[in-house]
Structure formats: structure tokens, C-alpha cells
A = this chain, B = another copy of it.
């Protein structure tokens, strides 16, 4: 694995020390070294100390491969994702690492780029690498075929669930997110609430809309504009849809948007029309995609789907499965929460953005 001795090497040619080297230096046997370094068995303190000293002097690092070959565990999991681009994968990975880092588990990152062939390839490779478990993250709430792993490694699905009902999936609560947004707007005294969102063919925007609708129903209200404005996930659709909504319902006093990007577009249209946010119209976004939401003028109140927590839960369950704890198939939903900013009338002091 390590290339040394090549003519181009700048580092001094050196063999990586093994237990044998440590044993020789400490004047003991390899078995003793192992015990000393792993605090196992009965050893004289002096011996243990001598071994530890020898190990550190040589800069000994145990070879994980050999350990794994022996133990049957690699302390390695993989995250297979179709989406590392968008803002999506990042908080998720953060959560995964939150849970995994504590356990000294390393993470293989595999990007399928939405290509089933690539996914299959990665699955094969991971099988061969004997990863302890796999997290399969989809971008949208849809049902997908189970990952093609032969070995029976534990797999946890994220957002996109497996068609096999005995598989386990962690996902976001989009209905709940919609409810959160609706309740918040109601609490802020808004009653003529419109909704602009992404493609109707996707479950996520439909669920968000359903959540809002549920709140409106409970309050005996109906949707401003008489319909959900489904469209694309672009700022431009946000701008256009806002025009349409205001045309259909000029007295609209709040707009819930299916994404922060849409909300940006909406806010732009509102400003062009000299409508004040939140004075005339309150706006709620979805995603809590920091640079988008915080950079907006005014900063956006938005539903945070809690992807970091989704990642954390997924990794935690995966560790459970790896440890042999029974994990029931089905879907675990992680609650969303609401990030309050100024676009709905709350006023907050926030730390300045520090990222490039």
C-alpha cells in the first residue's frame, strides 16, 4: 500500500514496523506485544511499559487490514449517494460522522451520479471490502430497488426507501414541515396563505403541501390562489409563480415556499412590486440552506428538514444493526424544525456569515 524506495520518493525509505519489530526491540514475543498493546491478558507492568515504549519509539501503527481479517470487522461503513452536489448531502454526512466518529468508524464515500451501473459497481466493491454496513442516500422520497449486495451487510436507506418492506429507512418529515410552516404563519396572524413549490410528480413537495393544507383545514381556511403552484425547483419559477399567485389572489398575506430557492425568487417579485416582507406578505422557505436563506433580504424563516439528524439517526441505527441489535424494517421519520428569521416578522440578531 505504501510506495517506498522509488527513485522519486522524497521520504527516507523505511519499512513500516510490525508487531515483530516491536517484539524484537522490546525483547519479547509477538504475542506479548499484542497483549501489551491491547491491554489483554496478564502481563507484568514493566513488560507492558517496555512494549509500549518500543512501539512508540518505532512509531508502530497496527495494520488494520490484518486486524480486520482476523476479527471479521472492518470498522468501515460506506455512504452511497446520488447527490453530493446540492446542499443536500453535506448536513447529512455531518450527521453520519457525528454518530460514526465516536466509534472510530471510517467512511467510504461513493457517488453514483444517478447511474445504476455505477451503483452496482460500488455495491460490488463494498462487498469485497467487507464494509460493516452501508447507508444508501437518495435525493427524493421515492421507492427504489434494494441495493445489490450479496453478503447480507446491514443497509440503511435514507430519504429514498427500499421496495423491500423489511428494509429500514430514515427520512424527513415533509408533512410535518408543512404543518410547522402553516402553524407559524397562522400564529403570526396570517390567513390568506399561498403555496409555491416544486414538481407535482415528486412526493416531497406534495407532502409539504399536504401539511400546509392540513393546518388550513383545521383552521377552516383555504389556500390563497385556490391551488398549490407546482413547478420547477428554480428561483425563476418562484418569481413567476409569485406573479401568478398575486394575480389570482391579490390579498395574499403569506407565502409558503417549497424551497429556499423558490422563496428567493418570490421575495424578489414581492420587492419589485413594492410589497414589504414581512409587512405586507410573510414568506417561509424550506431547506434552511444557510447561504440562500440567510443571504435573502430579509433573511428567510424556513423549515429545516433536519438532515443532520437524519444522518445521525441513520448511522446510529446502522451501528445497532452491525452490533446485532434487531432493527425493524420500515420508515423512521425525523421531525423538522423551524428556523426563525425576519421574513415572517421575527427579529433576531444573528452571527455574520463567515464562509466563502
Contacts and interface: CB of A to CB of B under 8 A. Distances in A.
A220 interface: no
Given A63-B69, A68-B65, A355-B233, A268 B297 contact: yes
Interface stretch (A102-110, A185-193, A331-339): A102-110
A107 B106 contact: no
Interface string A250-275: 00000000010100110010000000
A132 B74 CA distance: 17
A265 B10 CA distance: 47
A35 interface: no
Contacts of A61: 124, 127-128, 150-151
A341 to B, nearest CB: 13
State the number of copies, please: 2
B131 A1 contact: yes
A243 interface: no
A356 B259 contact: yes
Given A66-B69, A152-B9, A268-B297, A353 B234 contact: yes
Interface in A203-258: 204, 232-236, 239
A6 B326 contact: yes
Contacts of A131: 1
Nearest to A109: B109
A3 B74 CA distance: 11
Given A8-B327, A232-B352, A326-B7, A261 B128 contact: no
Contacts of A12: 152
Interface stretch (A20-28, A85-93, A175-183): A85-93
Given A107-B108, A236-B295, A353-B233, A7 B130 contact: no
A265 B4 CA distance: 51
Interface string A313-356: 00000000111111101000000000000000000000011111
Contacts of A132: 1-3
Interface in A68-101: 68-69, 72-74, 76, 84-86, 88-90, 93-94, 97
A200 interface: no
Given A152-B14, A234-B295, A352-B234, A1 B93 contact: no
A97 B153 CA distance: 24
A129 interface: yes
A16 B106 CA distance: 22
A163 interface: no
Interface string A101-126: 00010111111000000000000110
Nearest to A265: B295
26 contacts: A1-B73, A4-B152, A11-B152, A12-B152, A61-B124, A61-B150, A63-B128, A64-B129, A69-B69, A86-B355, A88-B356, A93-B109, A93-B111, A106-B108, A139-B356, A140-B356, A232-B352, A234-B295, A234-B353, A235-B295, A235-B296, A235-B297, A236-B295, A236-B353, A264-B295, A268-B297
Interface of A: 1-4, 6-12, 14, 16, 59, 61-66, 68-69, 72-74, 76, 84-86, 88-90, 93-94, 97, 104, 106-111, 124-125, 127-132, 139-140, 150-154, 166, 198, 204, 232-236, 239, 259, 261, 264-265, 268, 291-292, 295-297, 321-327, 329, 352-356
